[in-house]
Amino acid sequence: MLHNLNIGELADRLAKRQISSVELTRHFLGRIERLNPALNAFITLTAERAMQDAESADRLLAGGARGPLLGIPLIHKDIFCTDGVRTSCGSRMLDNFVAPYDATVVARLKAAGTVMLGKSNMDEFAMGSSNETSYYGPVRNPWNTAKVPGGSSGGSAAATAARLAPFATGTDTGGSIRQPAALTGVTGLKPTYGRVSRFGLVAFASSLDQAGVFAHSAADASAVLQVMAGFDPKDSTSVDVPVPDYSAALGGPLKGLKIGLLREFFEGLEAGNAALIHDALKIYRSLGAETLEVSLPHLPLSVPTYYVVAPAECSSNLSRFDGVRFGYRCDKPADLLDLYTRSRGEGFGAEVKRRIMTGTYVLSAGYFDAYYLKAQKVRRLITDDFRAAFEKVDLVISPTTPTPAFDIGAKMHDPVTMYLNDIYTIGANLAGLPGVSLPCGFVDELPMGLQLVGPHFSEAKLLNAAHQFQQATDWHRRAPRGYE
């Protein structure tokens, strides 16, 4: 079936004119129509526009044009601005917001000839680990629709897992690509901070946000990253470092690769999860890699550090939503202060307001030194720990999440318990490192993820290590029942 082919196979069939982009697009739109009602993975479907994009890709193909993503359908997380298409960020605040321009990621993928099927559901303003904070309702996990898909890019993850598109974009501020990828059994890549442009991506925490991809394999993710990555003068934190040929790096032998096990993450690991990681380590050893234990002593402080830094940046970034220039405005404001406070109070959901208030508190007079400044210092200690570890090893390995997907509603009453879902993923964001989550088996019939993290700009090495694992295993080919 077309939805089980990888991006390379699809591009090959399109190039040989065995299928057209219109047929491919129709196939995925049909699946979305049939399968999405049980998942709620979309906020906006762009079927009409997708058919136009597909027709134009077919014209280019007929004219002899070729490209690794030409004519391939995709889904964008609804955090990326899409010119002329609603960009809600999962919030009532932006329910009526039609983006007036394309994010650089969207523009690059459009220029590569991709076909946008729609915009995926997400936690409101990307604040959440379960996709339950969306104004548009929770997304359901295709492996078990009583379970969450993870968050914040839960719609992109669930849609990729359900084979509703060959790939989807996402963003990762504290694990929002890797955690949902793990909980839905797909491959999720968060590149190095600055590798992919943040221009046109609705900002949450600017020193942590990074755009990335969900795909069915590391090889597919490589093809997509190739297009997404690169310098962008419109993003002041974009880094002008050459983009290597990621696909060419796949296939390199792992002999001599040193993989570090993070001691802090293996203490207290639940048995089923530990067994999967140890199986993965055996596979890596059989491929010639060496595994050794490393310690990052400050890593246990990564979650409290993050929950100071990220809310502080969010409280500042979200001050732009004031009911004046765009977004939600309250009814009949009495005066300007009432306009601000009620537009924000009614336009934002509970978790977003909680984060804004946390950030306001840690930045306020009398608390700044104890919280924000302290967190910035601990952030450096955590980053230095990673740097020291990468003097001994090439990559570090850990589970992506402490548990498989949990029940919808199970953790919504207790924010701190919810925040601890990100315990294994947050370190990479604080240090700006690239990370990938790949399927490594099942616990309680739910998929689990293995996380690899490498030094800055080591995506090629990381993706090859993931690819080699996927050559030796078939976890990434498993589809949820009913979505095969």
Partner 1 sequence: MSLTRQDVEKIAHLARLSITEQEMPVYVTSLSSIVNFVDELSRADVGSVLPMAHPLDGQHQRLRADEVTERDHHEKFQLNAPAVAAGLYVVPRVID
Q: Looking at residues 396 to 435 of the shown chain, list those that interact with partner 1 (rule: CB under 8 A).
A: 414-416, 419, 429-432
Compute the distance between CA of residue 476 and CA of residue 181 in angstroms, rounded to an integer: 11
Least separation in angstroms between CB 209 and partner 1? 11
- 187: its two tokens: 């491959």
Using only C-alpha atoms, the chain has a radius of gyration, in whole angstroms, of 21
Is residue 134 flagged as an active site residue? no
169-204 burial, b for 16+ CB within 10 Å, e for fewer?
bbbbbbbbbbbbbbbbbbbbbbbbbbbbbbbbbbbb
Is residue 77 flagged as an active site residue? yes
Compute the distance between CA of residue 408 and CA of residue 130 in angstroms, rounded to an integer: 8
Least separation in angstroms between CB 248 and partner 1? 25
Q: Does 307 bind partner 1 (CB under 8 A)?
A: yes
Compute the distance between CA of residue 93 and CA of residue 342 in angstroms, rounded to an integer: 11
Compute the distance between CA of residue 221 and CA of residue 246 in angstroms, rounded to an integer: 9
**Interface stretch with partner 1, choices 53-61, 73-81, 183-191, 316-324 (CB under 8 A):** 316-324
Compute the distance between CA of residue 226 and CA of residue 213 in angstroms, rounded to an integer: 11
Catalytic pick among 176, 222, 302, 437: 176
Judged by CB under 8 A, the chain residues 93 through 132 that form the site for partner 1 are 96-98, 100
Binding flags for partner 1, 27-66, as an x/- string (CB under 8 A): ----------------------------------------
Judged by CB under 8 A, the chain residues 233 through 272 that form the site for partner 1 are 233, 236-237, 239
The answer to whether residues 449 and 190 touch, using CB atoms and an 8 Å cutoff, is no
- 387: its two tokens: 């740097």
Compute the distance between CA of residue 475 and CA of residue 479 in angstroms, rounded to an integer: 9
Type of residue numbered 158: A
Compute the distance between CA of residue 163 and CA of residue 310 in angstroms, rounded to an integer: 32
Q: How many residues bind partner 1 (CB under 8 A)?
A: 74
Catalytic pick among 77, 119, 190, 411: 77
Q: Does 339 bind partner 1 (CB under 8 A)?
A: yes
Is residue 152 flagged as an active site residue? yes
Catalytic pick among 152, 247, 302, 458: 152
User: Taking the CA of residue 169 as centre, how many other CA atoms within 13 Å lie in the half-sphere pointing to its CB?
Assistant: 36
Binding flags for partner 1, 444-483, as an x/- string (CB under 8 A): ------------x---------------------------
Beta-carbon contacts of 75 under 8 Å, excluding residues fewer than 6 positions away, are: 42, 116, 117, 118, 119, 120, 155, 156, 159, 160, 164, 165, 167, 168, 169
Least separation in angstroms between CB 316 and partner 1? 10
Q: Does 344 bind partner 1 (CB under 8 A)?
A: yes
Binding flags for partner 1, 206-235, as an x/- string (CB under 8 A): -xx------------------------x--
Nearer to partner 1, 374 or 478 (CB): 374
Q: At how many degrees (to 10) do helices 47-62 and 21-35 cross?
A: 160
How many CB atoms within 10 Å of residue 258?
A: 15
Compute the distance between CA of residue 100 and CA of residue 106 in angstroms, rounded to an integer: 13
Nearer to partner 1, 145 or 295 (CB): 295
Nearer to partner 1, 111 or 370 (CB): 370
| Of 26, 27, 258, 354, the one binding partner 1 by CB under 8 A | 354
Least separation in angstroms between CB 345 and partner 1? 3
Q: Does 337 bind partner 1 (CB under 8 A)?
A: yes
Binding flags for partner 1, 280-299, as an x/- string (CB under 8 A): ------------------x-
| Of 162, 378, 397, 426, the one binding partner 1 by CB under 8 A | 378
Compute the distance between CA of residue 452 and CA of residue 138 in angstroms, rounded to an integer: 28
Q: Which residue has the tokens 């003068």?
A: 233
| Of 45, 60, 110, 340, the one binding partner 1 by CB under 8 A | 340
Nearer to partner 1, 326 or 483 (CB): 326
Active-site amino acid positions: 77, 152, 176
